């Protein structure tokens, strides 16, 4: 019992000694340490650089050029407005960019509108325009991709998609299919009833 008490007292004495030799930093020293260590946001705030013209480049090359110029916030979208994802950047080319080329803040997000290499750029970036949304009136979704049409409806909407060619094909990649028919029709009252889209692939004519 005496040995246990002696060891406890010795350990307590050592701990007190260490605390006295290494006191916790005061509020002033904490503030000084914080002030001396700039955050990444502080370092980049107010920085500007010249954003190059990225239109016409392959998407991957455009992103590399933007980063080389000091812009690291990068985004891209389908310039045809079909809602496709740019999974393999090398398969896409840039049709539009925002901000435009020139002096810009390096904290800006560079948004690139792109199409696949085999596609022509649209006259206007369809992915940059506001897409229709269903409210109490059904919007006109003909010509839109099935993916965009589905996004136009409320999240809990009951939606049926049918192949209008009569071939009974499954609509798997909805961004590759366009809406040919819709029920309810555009302008009709919408109050949560099931919606049916008749669709075909984009390279096919609506029947």
The pLDDT of residue 45 is: 59
Q: Which of 75, 96, 116 is the last residue of a domain?
A: 116
Q: Report the pLDDT value the prediction gives residue 36, as an integer from 0 to 100.
A: 45
Residue 134 is assigned to a structural domain of this protein: no
Asked whether residue 31 is domain-assigned, the answer is yes
Residues 55 and 110 in one domain: yes
> How many structural domains are present in the chain?
3
Same domain, 56 and 32: no
- Long-range CB contacts (within 8 A, 24+) of 158-163: 158/193, 158/194, 158/195, 159/194, 159/195, 159/196, 159/197, 160/194, 160/195, 160/196, 160/197, 161/196, 161/197, 161/199, 162/196, 162/197, 162/198, 162/199, 163/198, 163/199, 163/200
95, 116, 137: which is the final residue of a domain? 116
Query: What domain range includes position 16?
Result: 2-36
Residue 128 lies inside a defined structural domain of this protein:
no
pLDDT attached to residue 145: 98
Task: Give every residue of the chain whose pLDDT is below 70, as ranges.
Answer: 1-46
pLDDT of residue 46: 65
**181/154 same-domain check:** yes
Q: Is residue 157 one of the residues assigned to a domain?
A: yes
Is the residue at 32 inside a domain? Answer: yes
Q: In the prediction, which pLDDT does 37 show?
A: 40
> Pairing state of beta strands 109-116 and 92-98?
antiparallel
Is residue 181 in some structural domain?
yes
In this structure, is residue 179 part of a structural domain?
A: yes
* Residue 94, pLDDT score: 99
* pLDDT at site 10: 42
The answer on 112 and 53 residing in a single domain is yes
Supply the pTM of this predicted model.
Answer: 0.74
Are 55 and 108 within one domain? Answer: yes
Residues 55 and 31 in one domain: no
Residue 98 lies in a domain: yes
Task: Evaluate the omega torsion of the peptide bond into residue 99 and state whether it is cis, within 30 degrees of 0.
Answer: yes
- Which CATH number goes with the domain that contains 53? 3.30.10
């Amino acid at each position: 019992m005496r040995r246990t008490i002696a060891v406890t007292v010795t350990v307590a004495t050592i701990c007190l000694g260490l605390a006295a030799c290494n006191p916790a930093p005061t509020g002033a020293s904490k503030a000084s340490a914080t002030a001396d260590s700039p955050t990444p946001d502080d370092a980049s705030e107010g920085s500007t650089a010249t954003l190059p013209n990225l239109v016409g480049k392959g998407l991957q090359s455009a992103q590399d050029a933007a980063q080389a110029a000091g812009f690291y916030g990068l985004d891209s979208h389908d310039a045809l407005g079909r809602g496709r994802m740019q999974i393999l950047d090398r398969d896409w080319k840039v049709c539009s960019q925002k901000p435009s080329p020139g002096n810009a803040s390096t904290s800006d997000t560079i948004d690139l509108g792109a199409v696949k290499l085999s596609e022509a750029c649209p006259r206007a970036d369809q992915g940059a325009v506001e897409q229709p949304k269903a409210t109490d009136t059904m919007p006109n979704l003909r010509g839109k991709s099935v993916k965009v049409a589905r996004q136009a409806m409320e999240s809990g909407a009951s939606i049926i998609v049918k192949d209008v060619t009569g071939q009974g094909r499954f609509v798997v990649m909805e961004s590759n299919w366009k809406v040919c028919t819709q029920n309810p029709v555009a302008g009709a009252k919408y109050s949560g009833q099931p919606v049916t889209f008749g669709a075909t692939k984009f390279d096919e004519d609506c029947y």
